[in-house]
Structure 1
């Protein structure tokens, strides 16, 4: 019995130790001081769209998140090695969208890494045969650079941007950027784990009348960078789906394997979208990505005023994210679709086993051991008694 008690105490001790370790890791994780500025340095509202600057200051470095609606919505991330770096905009040149260098992060020598993500096109196709194959029956794409975008709606370190195309019937396409002071997790599914080195973008299509009764959608993204552009997607699997039920993997758009520096960037997402604004498990729909391919940097610069303003000769890779598989409900079933991703610097966040999962594992593995030990405690005296009753001592 004493051995069984020790075993039970050991399992409990391991669980408490893991919980304390998880808590300490959370408390010791990096934190940043955030400041938000809309159209930095502009004397009046600029024509053609807004520029949001979120400055995330660490102990000895700064992350600059620049979210722009001049043309196709674009998120630019610049990491510097000083806590005093600033953003400078030449607004007369910036709004013309044809001047490289009209937006600078100074001192330029402090820049460690930069990358940008352009939300360039929304594509729709008629999935007549329910194969989820977008190669054929594509409608003319919605060019997001041609959308009429609202002004940014700010709420703390969060900004909402909504727009519509001239040929949209009702509805809108919205993007919401959220920056973070410390590590945490999203409140709604897919509940992505974030750090102070990342920002989250939620994209949703709401109320737009599809051009066919069996329409499905794709979102075209362009990753723009300098020396180490995002050029490949890694897929990592897990056995823990506690925070995103039924989803056991995460996808990461990262630089080439030859990149030696750890101070790079990433785009991370779970391969799932949702068909309701307040998602439940039955509203989840899988999503897939194409392989990133090199594309014209000039095309990305033409689509986005922010790319032209910051990069002289950008390296660009593009890919599509498609929503829904064969047999899944079509967009017309709810006329809503949302998808969430992270954009950050450094190593992508990694989900570890939560204390709940560890406790379940501990109970699952520890209980059989305790039962075996208890069985041994009762069986051993019984065997000793049987042996003493069968054999007589020899004089």
Structure 2
């Protein structure tokens, strides 16, 4: 079988370092925050070319705190995309603000920058671009629009650890960047985890308090906060894995190049924009025969994924936003046609060849 993601293979490749790091935390008894988490904050912020890192328990919490630090609240509007994991939109709603959707660009799957300005109203307070699948959004025009209208830019970089826009790491381009360390991510914890990066010391201080019950110091609650703290064990694990992320990223890029070559003239494959270092959290192809191809691959022991079959504006939970089918055709089309192939650093060239061959054979039967 060729799994969609092979977390065990990655663990075995660094097992001794991981086990040592975990035991160190157990011996220190610094189970919540602590020295390992603090060191991770500094190291990950440096990796992103940001000044500060705030470690939290999930990527969703990262988005929530970023929005709160930027002053987003009831009656405000935040512009984002409907073709994303639901957490992007949920975090906006947690603040009491209203998500306002803009369709994706059909090539990059990221926000269509030509549609942002017409979505701005007097209530708009922020733009929340999503660097989907590891491909950066087109940040230069986003930042230009935001500065012109006085808006905050919060990057959802949950799928884009190490991705770059014109040579600059994502997460450090906008005002605040948010990352997820969910196990399957390019940099994943062995449990839940998230990180916020910024160059703004005031945002940093606010988010540090908000993640820890709003405390400025123990039992002095300045803000109405949350229990969004990172575990010490996850901090230690992520510090080990951070040392390997560039090696793993180069592996993903090489695997994508092999897929591209083998699947040329077979199915539409990911396009890397000229400004982009795509880090391939997901390797997504497009097909109008997704269910058939997925079934055929599964019969040959090849696992695949779908990201995401229902765009957020068509989810029952968000029907109150007032959108309907047809409002965002590129998002809806991608949701119906996207098929994710196995992608992780430990994939072998032989496995990629097998996946590609079986996919081509299935397409020939259509």
TM-score past 0.5 threshold: no
Instruction: Give 1 or 2: higher strand fraction.
Output: 1
TM superposition score normalised by structure 1: 0.24
Instruction: Give 1 or 2: higher helix fraction.
Output: 2
Where relative contact order (Cα < 8 A, 6+ residues apart) is larger, the structure is 2
